[in-house]
């Protein structure tokens, strides 16, 4: 009986406590009881974009400006507010640019708000520049709104961007393993997709006595293969005999009358072989201990065993180089590269060993060098 009395008292106390808390919380700092989730919020704005939000412009040349305009309509029952939230580089949105309004600390920026009445529309134009972008281009902006179902939406432009002057194959001409005793050739195509009437006005190379470039119009078959509608040139590069043995580099400069790209530079790289073979083609010594030093050997083979003298005319300063003839085999010489113990840590990646010879068809050898000396205690 006592247990039942205690239970009844506890229930009464609990009920009173709940009633007290409910009454006091209504007027407390916690604020009023939240409205029901399904309570009507009243008239609201609603964004409707005419057409797809991503405009695909196809293809366009670099260094061009263009724009696209969308119609944004308010199909809701209340005033629509729009502002530029943020955009990617090279894009601006007309009428929605941010207004600079410095706050007290001079750091904040207030957004410019455009207001659209119900059943009215506003044009939003996105202006963009292709600059020096290449291949896939996708830029745009994010627009903020007071539409509760679309507080942020994006407008984008998308397409492909190509250089005003096109070169195929692109970037460089590579000629590996060519003989310095006979002429070598390479061919590239040069054309413009947005200016088929473009003309090449001049061709230059760094060593015109050894690198000679000539131009001719693309044939119909060339244009079909490259998918070029009209115009364009075929450039034949001839490498004359007499290049130094080993690695070489030069540059082909193509001048045109295209107003957006007057000059195009193409790198020429490769290595030559000839009556003297260099085995291996270069010196690579990485992870060399500064304390211990290191040595590396190359073989110079003269075709036919012709007596030849060698003289080092250039080398990285830290290297000690000797060249000795192999008495057991005519025309075979050993070039030894030494990094003396105690050489300070260093890295060499863009230098060469240059060797002068008295051979009539190989007067100079160029041997690329890549060296890394560290404080490591072992090789």
pLDDT band at 317; cut points 50, 70, 90: very high
- Sorting pLDDT into bands at 50, 70 and 90, what band is 94? low
> Are 62 and 162 contacting, i.e. CB atoms less than 8 angstroms apart?
yes
Q: For residue 300, which of 224, 353, 348 has the smallest C-alpha distance?
A: 353
Surface-to-core class of residue 65, CB atoms within 10 Å of its CB (0-12 exposed, 13-18 middle, 19+ buried) = exposed
Domain residue ranges in the chain: 47-162, 166-273, 276-374
- As given in the structure block, the two tokens for residue 304 are 């036919």
pLDDT attached to residue 324: 96
For residue 79 the two structure tokens come to 């005033």
The contacts of residue 143 (CB under 8 Å, 6+ apart) are 72, 82, 83, 84, 85, 93, 96, 124, 152, 153, 154, 155
DSSP class of 169? S
Q: Which residues pair with 160 in a beta bridge?
A: 59, 136
Q: What is the mean pLDDT of residues 214-228?
A: 94
Confidence of residue 109 (pLDDT cuts 50, 70, 90): low
CATH for the stretch 166-273: 2.60.40.10
Question: Does CATH place domain 276-374 in 1.20.1260.10?
Answer: no
318 pLDDT above the threshold of 50: yes
What band does 377 get if pLDDT is binned at 50, 70 and 90? low
> For the segment 156-197, what is each residue's pLDDT rounded down to a tens digit?
999 999 999 999 998 799 999 999 999 999 999 999 999 999
pLDDT at 134: 85
- What's the fold here for domain 47-162? Immunoglobulin-like (2.60.40)
Q: How confident is the model at residue 90 (pLDDT cuts 50, 70, 90)?
A: low
Give yes or no for residue 350 having a pLDDT over 90. no
Residue with tokens 């009395």: 5
For the stretch 112-144, pLDDT in tens is 888 999 999 999 989 899 888 888 999 999 999
Q: Taking 90 as the threshold, does the pLDDT of residue 299 lie above it?
A: yes
Instruction: Confirm whether 166-273 and 276-374 share one CATH topology.
Output: yes
What pLDDT does residue 30 have? 38
Q: What is the band of 41 on the pLDDT scale with cuts at 50, 70, 90?
A: confident
Mean pLDDT of the chain: 85
For residue 25, name the pLDDT band (cuts at 50, 70, 90).
Answer: very low
Mean pLDDT (whole number) for 299-309: 94
Task: Establish whether the linkage from the previous residue to 169 is cis, with ω within 30° of 0.
Answer: yes
Return the pLDDT at 8: 42
Q: Which residue has the tokens 């300063």?
A: 317
Q: Once rounded to an integer, what is the mean pLDDT over residues 293-310?
A: 95
Q: Is the peptide bond before 215 cis (omega within 30 degrees of 0)?
A: no
Q: What percent of the chain has pLDDT over 70?
A: 82
CA distance 223 to 235: 14
């Amino acid at each position: 009986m006592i247990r039942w009395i205690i239970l009844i008292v506890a229930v009464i106390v609990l009920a009173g406590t709940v009633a007290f808390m409910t009454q006091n919380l209504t007027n407390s700092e916690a604020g009023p009881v939240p409205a029901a989730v399904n309570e009507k919020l009243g008239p609201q704005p609603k964004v409707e974009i005419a057409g797809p939000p991503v405009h695909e412009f196809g293809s366009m040349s670099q260094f061009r400006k263009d724009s696209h305009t969308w119609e944004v309509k308010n199909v809701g029952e209340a005033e629509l507010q729009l502002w530029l939230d943020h955009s990617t580089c090279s894009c601006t949105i007309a009428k929605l640019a941010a207004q600079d309004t410095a706050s007290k600390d001079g750091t904040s920026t207030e957004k410019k708000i455009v207001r659209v009445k119900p059943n009215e529309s506003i044009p939003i134009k996105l202006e963009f520049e292709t600059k020096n972008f290449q291949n896939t281009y996708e830029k745009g902006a994010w627009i903020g709104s007071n539409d509760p179902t679309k507080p942020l939406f994006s407008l984008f432009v998308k397409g492909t961007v190509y250089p005003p002057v096109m070169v195929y194959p692109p970037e460089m001409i590579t000629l590996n393993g060519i003989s310095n005793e006979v002429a070598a050739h390479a061919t590239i195509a040069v054309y413009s997709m947005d200016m088929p009437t473009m003309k090449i006005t001049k061709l230059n190379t760094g060593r015109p006595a050894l690198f000679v470039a000539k131009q001719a119009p693309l044939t119909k078959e060339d244009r079909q293969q490259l998918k070029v509608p009209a115009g364009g040139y075929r450039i034949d590069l001839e490498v004359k005999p007499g290049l130094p043995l080993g690695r070489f580099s030069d540059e082909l400069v193509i001048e045109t009358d295209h107003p957006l790209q007057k000059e195009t530079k193409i790198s020429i790289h490769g290595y030559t072989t000839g009556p003297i073979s260099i085995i291996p083609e270069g010196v690579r010594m990485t992870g060399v201990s500064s304390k211990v030093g290191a040595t590396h050997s190359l073989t110079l083979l003269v075709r036919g065993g012709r007596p030849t003298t060698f003289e080092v005319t250039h080398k990285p300063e830290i290297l000690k180089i000797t060249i000795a003839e192999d008495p057991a085999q005519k025309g075979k010489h050993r070039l030894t590269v030494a990094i003396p113990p105690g050489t300070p840590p260093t890295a060499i990646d863009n230098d060469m060993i240059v060797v002068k010879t008295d051979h009539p068809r190989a007067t100079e050898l160029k041997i690329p060098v890549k060296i890394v000396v560290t404080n490591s205690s072992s090789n």
